[in-house]
Each structure stands twice: as structure tokens, then as C-alpha cells.
Amino acid sequence: MIDGNIVLYLSMLTAAVALFGLLLKELRNDDVYMGIVPWASRATFVLLGFDLLLLTYHFITSDFTIMYVWQFTSLSLPLVYKFAAVLAGQSGTLLLWSLIIFMCSTWIAETKKWDNPFVRQVQIVTIITGMFFTVLTIMESPFATIYALDSTLPPGFIPQDGNGLNALLINPWMAIHPPTVFIAYGVATIPFAAALVYLLTGKREWEAFARQWTRLTWLFLTFTIALGGLWAYLVLGWGGFWAWDPVETSSLIPWITITAYMHAASQYRKDKNVFNIGAPVLAIITMILVVYAALVTRSGIFESVHAFGDSPSGMMFLIFIVAAVLVTIALVARKISHEKDKDNDNDNDSDSGDKNEDEDEDEISIYDYLSKKSIQFYITVVLLSILTFISFWGITFPAIIQLVKHMKVGVGVEFFNIWGYPAFIALMVMMGYCLQRGDYKFKKQSLIAVSAATVLLSFVSIGPEFHVMDHTSNFWTAQPFLYKLIGSISLLSMMPPIMYVIGAALDRMFVDFKAKPSGKVLARKTGINIIHIGMALILFGAVMSVSFTTSIGADVYLNQIGEVVFLDDGYAVKVDEYLPESGSGVYPGDKISDVKRNPSAYPSTQVSGKISEIQSIGSYTGFKLSDGNDYIWVATGGADIAVGDELTVSGSVMRDFESSSTGMVFDAIIFASDLSSISAGTDTSQKVYLEVFKDGKRIGKGVSEYVVYKQGDATHPMVDRSLTHDVYVIFQGASSYSIPLTILIKPFVNEVWIGVILFSVGIMLIAGSEMNLRRRREFE
Amino acid sequence: MKPKKLINIVAIVLMVGFAYAAINIAPVLSDEENTYLGGLVWTNFLDEGLAAAQEQHKPVLVYFWAVWCQYCELFETETLHDSKVNAALKNDFILVAVDLDENREVASRFGVSYPPHELFLDEYGNIITRIPGYVDADTFYSVVSDVSSNYNSNSNSNSNSNTNLNSNSTDNGDDQVEEAVI
């Protein structure tokens, strides 16, 4: 078998060759190696691609001599999750990340050619970044063997089964979530590289060059966040899709900055003096925050379900962040001083002109300012930056306090909601104003009206849960004054901005369609409009579903199955069927049927199952162990066992055994050397088929499931969706006499998913409208 | 003053003010010895908890949590702060809080994969029952009172239960079903 590590080293070598050739061309204008640069670049991509396939192959064939494979898979894992498990840990994802970077780099090389100096410079930055991640992959190689990591293991030792995939990751959404993450992260390298080259050289084509890459990054970051949210909604089973967990939050932060970047870039495109520093800085910050997200997700600083132990890459990520920040500050300082020099030169000629402009600005009213597109976008970018900072600080300062003071402090959901809400509402008002068509006077009146309505409604309270912070919660009473102040804002205040945005965007769409522009222009305009409608829907759905969820507890006794059980507030529930442990045949270890069919292949074995019968066999205690598909007899020297116990048995298999004292004959029997309890290690599942009623009408139907896998337990709640609400039922395992259920009625959750779909369709329309066009215009 | 400058200054003042306020308002959850969640004091060490349990013949509640875990916070504010729950835990249980970021060994020993997770142990460290995830105060209280009432009645007869492979002893509670929650 080919060693994946060698392939990794080879890819470093080819990347280095490409880099060397490009640098020689750049610094000495020496073409000697330029001929092999494209080949070296392609080779790097192919080698890394091969390595990922190789790793996948190891997963499919369950090669447990490879530590990473052993760690994240097991024999009982279904095939599709063996594919998914390739990206379950740090090492695999680093490999994919490097691969995506070199894929982009090769793509650019193939489509844009090397003769353009700007493209070559972008390549240099891209390849250096790609090599950085390849080094990380080598440091935490997914191909490291168990022997290399544990020298006490005897050579030739092969573990019988893998450690298994975390139960929470066994879900279709989790299977496609990681690839989207690392496509987004990898593609973000291109806008980053383009912006860096621009700050270094001042080449203005950077924005056009990075445009489609930026949209691709945005699309995949959107997918990443949405899929993560969907997974949390369906798997964590506590009824939320967003909890401001650091991992979620850290993936949102680059999304906000890249959104800010896209707004800045749209102005820069029209006037190269607007956002000429802000735009590239935002592109670079996005990449830095992407690495920060990787640090948060995978390192030991803040851990979460995504973190699988300490890793040396944490330090490397920190180094990348610090280096990138320092380089950016230096480049920006240089650029500003250059521009000051230029301004001074110009000032000699047009000193008076500048002053006049200043005076003009002092005289015109605030609305005149707001009517300038560049100012509107400036405020938008500032508001997005404030949201970025709030999210960043919320996940960062607890870690700083923990490092410095060795104390853990709490940052709850409320922290983000309270600080984020006012900024977000301001952003929505600005969004509506930017989108609104029509003459200046009407826009001005609308802005005043919407702002006034927003402020007034902030004070209108209908019920305790109609506030940014729920006044009925125990949490509310413990809050300091400042939080109570902001937390008292009425949620009705979100309605005017939301309606403003949707109204303005629909109006634009209507007018755009009537004007019958070319297909491409229409696609672009429609894309922009529906993305903003999507944002309004997401805000609406998020706030409504979080603030107005109804929760009803139910405890259905086992003898009430099939009956309607009446609950509070007119709700009722009926358990149609309860299936405990339907997951037969998924016990850990060897399959009993395999062992019985061919005992000689299993001189020693480990099987698990349930005891169905106990009988003494001479001086031994014998018991029948069943895994649901088949059974086998086990002989043991004596243990405290009972029918119904679930056990894992290790021992040797004896064929055609005849008990001399009792005359019993066994085709195969296991003489147990060890018995252990498997209360937490069995793959079992409990399913509840149920219906939920409100005032006699059925509002939801489905299955709620509780499963225990090898690596822990997971809940698969019942979700019955509709446009106005989801009926969501959590089941966390039955007790011996009852089935406890938590029924949540969550309003307008699907508006969030519709918003996400609008985001995706919108950005695809925008990107599609510029396909092929841009490249020829800018680079021929 | 140019309006852009004004916008910048306002934004910076807001952000600095926010950053400062945020740090000062944040509540302390845990230090190196103890953890202060839900208005209760928990030891951070399972061994200490078990030793105390054997001394006082009380069951142990092991609460798995993490700083970043938002459902833990909900559990602490809504469930643990509930007066019935709070009193029952204070009087009848030895409380151990395990931060999943720090003590993965204990978590993996009991098959805990994600916080919050509430594990009830007898004084010898055997699992009595477990609650994976967040539960509201009523549900939690019914489990807590089940465990403590069964424990008091069984603790003398059941002291060698660590040899019992089937350690799920909530089964004993059929006759003590609480008033229906529904």
C-alpha cells in the first residue's frame, strides 16, 4: 500500500517547485522555470486529491492500523458515514483544506494563464497559503499509524474494531456539512490573496479578479452555517438551530465580514477611491477570521463537540493569525502614507478645492449625506463591523479571562441577543433605506416614519415574552441594569424595519421586471433583491422561533399507549407505538452469526448481546447470548448474571463441543475470559410513534427517536413542519414505567430556511449573471 | 467634523464601551476548586464527591457542562434555579460538576458525548440513571425525587450493587410513581 505521508511530502515538493519558479520570475524576471510551473501546480493538486481518495479508501476498508481511521470509524458504521468520517477530525479536514486551495490555484492557472503578472502574484500568495496548510496536514497526518503513535503496541497488532464515530455526527446533514465548510474556507484564500497583492502592488484589477471567488465563498459559508444549524436543530434535539455556541458564532463572523466586503467592493467597483483600503482589509480579515474559526473549532482554547482533543495546529493557526494581522497593518500603514504623499502633492494644486468641499459637507443636512450611496454603504459596513465585533468579543473574552485569571465566566445566548439586536435593527432600517426606490423626498419621509415607528414600538409591550430578553425567565431577575434596559426593548420594534426591507425589495423587483432589461441585468438585480428579502425572513423567523416557542412536558405511562393523553393549554398527545431497542444486530464486536458460521476464523472473539437463557453446563455456567439476529452459547466460570443483561463477551470459540457431564452438544461455544457490561456501548434505539393534538385537532405526527451508539447517545426528535410552525417532540429515552416527552411548538422556523434558500438562489443569480463576461474584459 | 469621522468615532466608542461592559457584567461560573452553577456549589472532582457520598450515604449528581454550552446555561437558569429542584439537590445529593473541556476522562468513562448531561450515581460510583441533554424543572424534579426516595429506601440493602452487571436500578420505583406531571 502506498504511504499517504510520502504523497504529502511529494506534494510539498511540487508546490515548492511551482513557488520557486514563480518567485524567480517575479524577483529576477527569469523565465527558466516558468515552463514547469503549471505542471508542478497541477501535480500538487493531483497528489493531494489522490491522498484524499487514499484516505477515503482506508476508511472504507476499515484499516484500523491507521490511527485516524481507528479513531473515527468502526465496523458497524454504515458505508455512507465511513465517507463522512473522513472529515470527522482535524487531520482529514486539513487535507481537504489544502486540496481546495491548490484546486483554486490550479483553476486560476488554467483559466487565466501565467503571463499576467497580477495572476502570478496571486498564485504566489495562494501557493504559500496552501503550503502552510499542507505542512499542518503533515504535522497532524491522517496517515499516522497506531504503531507510530503508541510504541508499546506489538508489531502486527490490528485492533478488532475502531473507536467509532461520535453519535452526534451520524446524520445526513453532518455528512455534507464538513465539505461545504472547507470549500468555503479554501476558496476564501483567493480574495485574501488578491487583496494582499493589491495592498502590496496597488494593482486595481484585484476586485474584479476576486469577485466570483468571493461569491463562491459567501455561498458556501452560507451553506456551512445553515447546514450546521439544521444539524443542531435535528440532532442535538433541544429545539434550537442557533445557540451562539463559539463554533457556530465563529463561522458566522467571517460571513459577516465577507458580506461587509461585498458591500464595500460594490462601491469600490464604481469609484476606485471609495473603500480603497476598507475593501481589501475586509477581504483579508475574512481569511484571518476563517483561520480563527478553525482555531476555535478544533483547538484546545475553546472546545466543543467539534473539538476532538488538543492539537499542535492550534499554535500554527495562532501564528498564521498574528503574522497576517501584522503584515496587513504594515501594508495598510504604507498605503496610507503613500496616499497622504499623493494628497499633499495634489493639495499644492487644488488646495482651495478641497477646502470648499469640506465646507460644503458642513452645511448640508444629514439627509443629504444619507442620500449618497457611498455614505449609505459606509454606514452599512460600519454596522456590520459592529456586529462582527460583538460576535468576536463574545467568544473571545471568556477565553482571555480563563487564561489570565483561571476563572470561567458565562456568556449566554442573551449576551449576543441583547447586544446584537439594536445593531441589527439599525442595519435593517439602513437596508430598507438603501433598497428603497423613488425620489429623495419620499425616501426621507419613509426613513423618518420607519425609524419613528421602530423607536415607538420598542416601548410597546404585549406580554412578558415580547422582549429582547424574556421577562418570565429566571435569568431575567439576575441581570444587571444595562442588560435589563436593552432587554426591555419590545420585539414589536423589529416589524417596521422588516416590512420596510421586504416592501422596498418587492417594489424594486416589480419595477425591474416591468422595465424588461436584459436577462443578465434582471438576474443580477433580482438576486440582490431576494437576498435582502431572505435576510428579513431570517431575522423574523429567528426571533419568532426563539422568543415564542411553547414548551409542554408530557409523561406518557406505558399502559397509556394508544390513548390520547391530555396536557396543558388544550394540547394532547397520543403515543401510537413504542419500539424499544429496535436496533438489533448493531451490537459492538463480531457478529454472532459470522462467528457461528465459521468458528475457525475466530480463534478469539468479542461478541455482544442480550442473555436470553441461563443453564448450568457441568461446572460452568452457560448462557445463551443473542444479538437479535442469532445466538450463541457462552460458558463462564460463574458470574452474577441474569436473563436480560446485556454483555460484551471476550473469549475463545470451541467447535463441536460436547459437555461430558451433561451430554449437551454445541456447534460452537465461547469460553469467556472476560464479561463486561455494555450499558453505554451498545447501538440501540428507542422509537416513539406519536401524534400531537391542539384543541382536538391533530397538528403533528411522526417519530421521535433516542439512540445509543458506540460513542454515546443522541436524540432524533420528531419534526413536523409547516409554514407557520414546527411541531417538535423530544424523546430522551423511556424509564421503566413511562415515556417522557417534551413537545415544542416553534413558530416560523421554516422562514429561516426559506431565507437561506433565497440567499443561495440570489447569489447564484448574481454570480451567474457575470459568468464568462468579466474574465475576458479584465484580462485580455 | 466630517460625517464619516463622526460615524467612526461613534462606532469605536460603542465598541469599546460594549467590550468593557461585557467583561464586567459576565458572571463567574467556576474557579479551580468549585463550580457555582444554578445557585449551587459543586465540587470539580468526582473522587471527592464519591468520598463525601460514602460518608453521608447520599447519591451523587454528576453534571457535565461546558462554558460554551448554551443549553447548560438554560438548564442552570431554568431548572437548577427552580426552588424545588434547588432545595432537593442541596439536601439530598452530593454535587459534582464536570467541565467537559477539562475532564474528558470522566466523560468518556460514562459515555457522555455532549453537554449538558446529568448522571445520577450511587455512593460507589454505579450509574443509577442518566438524563442526556436539557430538561425542564418539572421533569428534572420528578427524576431527582425518584432517585432520592429510592436511594433512602434501598441504600442499606443495596450496598454491594457494584457487582451487579445490570446497574439500571430505577426499576425499583414502580410503586413510587410521582403524581403525574401531565
B28, B164, B174 ranked by CB distance to A409: nearest:
B28
B22, B177, B181 ranked by CB distance to A553: nearest:
B181
Partner-chain contact B136 A475, CB within 8 Å: no
Question: Which run of H or of E encompasses A669?
Answer: strand A665-677
Residue of B nearest to A361 (CA): B2
> How far, CA to CA in Å, does A2 sit from each of A41, A52, A55, A516?
22, 13, 11, 59
In this structure, what are the phi and psi dihedrals at residue B83, rounded to the nearest 5 degrees?
A: -65, -40
Is pLDDT of B63 > 50? yes
Residue with the bigger pLDDT between A10 and B78: it is A10
A386, A394, A742 ranked by CB distance to B15: nearest:
A386
In this structure, what are the phi and psi dihedrals at residue B168, rounded to the nearest 5 degrees?
A: -90, 95
Cell numbers given for B73:
446555561
Smallest Cα distance from A396 to chain B, Å: 10
Contact (Cβ atoms closer than 8 angstroms) between residue A95 and residue A137: yes
Cell numbers given for A239:
429545539
Residue type, A464: P
Bridge partners, residue A728, by sequence: A719, A744
Mean pLDDT in chain A?
Answer: 86
Burial letters for A648-660: b for 16+ Cβ neighbours within 10 Å, e otherwise?
A: bbbbebeeebebe
Residue type, A59: F
Residues 297 through 326 of chain A touching chain B, CB cutoff 8 Å: 300, 302-305, 309
Residue with the bigger pLDDT between A247 and A760: it is A760
Residue A366: exposure state from Cβ atoms within 10 A (0-12, 13-18, ≥19): exposed
Contact (Cβ atoms closer than 8 angstroms) between residue A154 and residue A246: no
Residues of B in contact with A735 (CB under 8 A): 129, 170
| A363 band by pLDDT with thresholds 50, 70 and 90 | low
Cell numbers given for A323:
503574522
**What number is the average pLDDT over the span B5-13?**
91
DSSP string, B30-64: E-SSEE--TT--EES-HHHHHHHHHHHT--EEEEE
Is pLDDT of A315 > 90? no
Secondary structure letter of residue A232 according to DSSP: I
Is pLDDT of B176 > 60? no
Smallest Cα distance from A344 to chain B, Å: 19
Is pLDDT of A9 > 90? yes
Instruction: In whole angstroms, give the CA distance from residue B35 to residue B49.
Output: 13
Residues 10 through 69 of chain A touching chain B, CB cutoff 8 Å: none
Q: Order the strands of the A738-747 sheet from edge to edge.
A: A550-557, A738-747, A725-731, A718-720
| A299 band by pLDDT with thresholds 50, 70 and 90 | low
A378, A713, A736 ranked by CB distance to B171: nearest:
A736
| Residue of A120, A126, A261, A251 lying closest to A186 (CA atoms) | A126
Contact (Cβ atoms closer than 8 angstroms) between residue A622 and residue A616: yes
| Residue of A503, A364, A497 lying closest to A430 (CA atoms) | A497
> How far, CA to CA in Å, does A237 sit from each of A224, A719, B38, B63, B117?
19, 10, 22, 19, 13
**What number is the average pLDDT over the span A450-468?**
90
Is pLDDT of A224 > 70? yes
Within an 8 Å CB–CB cutoff, is residue A555 touching chain B? yes
B22, B82, B135 ranked by CB distance to A393: nearest:
B22
Within an 8 Å CB–CB cutoff, is residue B5 touching chain A? no
Mapped onto helix, strand or coil, the DSSP state of residue A222 is helix
Partner-chain contact A245 B2, CB within 8 Å: no
Task: Label residue A469 left, alpha or beta by phi (over 0 means left) and psi (-120 to 50 means alpha).
Answer: beta
**What number is the average pLDDT over the span A232-238?**
77
A168, A551, A640 ranked by CB distance to B164: nearest:
A640
| A349 band by pLDDT with thresholds 50, 70 and 90 | low
- Prior bond of A717 cis (ω within 30°): no
Within an 8 Å CB–CB cutoff, is residue B163 touching chain A? yes
| Longest pairwise C-alpha distance within chain B | 82
| Residue of B133, B117, B122, B132 lying closest to B167 (CA atoms) | B122
Instruction: In whole angstroms, give the CA distance from residue A85 to residue A73.
Output: 6
Partner-chain contact B21 A482, CB within 8 Å: yes
Cell numbers given for A111:
483559466
A386, A566, A647 ranked by CB distance to B165: nearest:
A647
Cell numbers given for A224:
456551512
- How confident is the model over A30-59, as pLDDT tens digits? 887 888 888 999 999 999 999 999 999 999
Instruction: In whole angstroms, give the CA distance from residue B51 to residue A459.
Output: 54
Place of cell 460615524: B7
Within an 8 Å CB–CB cutoff, is residue A715 touching chain B? yes
Radius of gyration of chain B (CA): 21
Instruction: In whole angstroms, give the CA distance from residue B50 to residue A266.
Output: 63
Residues of A in contact with B13 (CB under 8 A): none
Instruction: In whole angstroms, give the CA distance from residue A105 to residue A373.
Output: 35
| Residue of A195, A321, A314 lying closest to A258 (CA atoms) | A195
Bridge partners, residue A556, by sequence: A739
- How confident is the model over B85-141, as pLDDT tens digits? 999 999 999 999 998 877 778 887 887 877 889 999 999 988 888 888 888 888 899
Residue type, B58: K
Smallest Cα distance from B57 to chain A, Å: 24
Instruction: In whole angstroms, give the CA distance from residue A349 to residue A367.
Output: 32
Partner-chain contact A554 B181, CB within 8 Å: yes
Bridge partners, residue B30, by sequence: A408, B35
Sequence-distant (6+) residues with CB within 8 A of A608 are: A587, A588, A589, A625, A627, A646, A647, A648, A649, A678, A681, A682
Selected for mutation to probe chain A from B82, B113, B139, B169 (highest A CB count within 10 Å) is B113
Residue with the bigger pLDDT between A628 and A75: it is A75
Q: CA A765, A112, A36, A324 torsion: positive or negative?
A: negative
Smallest Cα distance from B117 to chain A, Å: 10
Within an 8 Å CB–CB cutoff, is residue A733 touching chain B? yes
A218-232, A261-275, B106-120: which has the minimum mean pLDDT?
A: B106-120
Bridge partners, residue A604, by sequence: A652
Alpha-carbon dihedral of residues A163, A168, A169, A173, nearest 10 degrees? 160
Is pLDDT of A680 > 50? no
Residue of B nearest to A240 (CA): B71
Contact (Cβ atoms closer than 8 angstroms) between residue A127 and residue A15: yes
Contact (Cβ atoms closer than 8 angstroms) between residue A246 and residue A231: no
Cell numbers given for A613:
437463557
| Residue of A294, A347, A339 lying closest to A91 (CA atoms) | A294
A117-139 and A4-28 helices, crossing angle to 10°:
150
Sequence-distant (6+) residues with CB within 8 A of A699 are: A692, A693, A720, A727, A745
Q: In this predicted structure, what is the pLDDT of residue B112?
A: 80
Q: Report the range out of A71-75, A110-114, A444-448, A599-603 with the highest average pLDDT.
A: A444-448
* This prediction's pTM: 0.82
Q: What is the ipTM of this complex?
A: 0.72
Residues of A in contact with B65 (CB under 8 A): none
Sequence-distant (6+) residues with CB within 8 A of B17 are: none
Smallest Cα distance from B17 to chain A, Å: 11
Residues of B in contact with A419 (CB under 8 A): 18, 22
Q: How far is CA A36 from the centre of its chain?
A: 38
Residues in chain B: 182
- How confident is the model over A135-173, as pLDDT tens digits? 999 998 999 988 887 777 777 788 878 877 877 777 888
Within an 8 Å CB–CB cutoff, is residue A219 touching chain B? no
Q: In this predicted structure, what is the pLDDT of residue B32?
A: 80
Residues of A in contact with B127 (CB under 8 A): 679
Compute the C-alpha angle A526/A532/A533, nearest 5°.
85
Residues of B in contact with A556 (CB under 8 A): 182
Is pLDDT of B180 > 60? no
Partner-chain contact B101 A302, CB within 8 Å: yes
Residue of B nearest to A403 (CA): B31
Ordered alpha helix ranges (H), chain B: 3-25, 46-56, 70-74, 83-92, 104-109, 137-154
Residues of A in contact with B71 (CB under 8 A): 236, 238, 240, 243
Within an 8 Å CB–CB cutoff, is residue A621 touching chain B? no
Q: How far is CA A486 from the centre of its chain?
A: 30
Residues of B in contact with A473 (CB under 8 A): 77-78
Residue with the bigger pLDDT between A238 and B55: it is B55
Sequence-distant (6+) residues with CB within 8 A of A602 are: A590, A594, A595, A653
Smallest Cα distance from B123 to chain A, Å: 19
Place of cell 411541531: A727
Instruction: In whole angstroms, give the CA distance from residue A445 to residue A451.
Output: 10
Within an 8 Å CB–CB cutoff, is residue B20 touching chain A? no
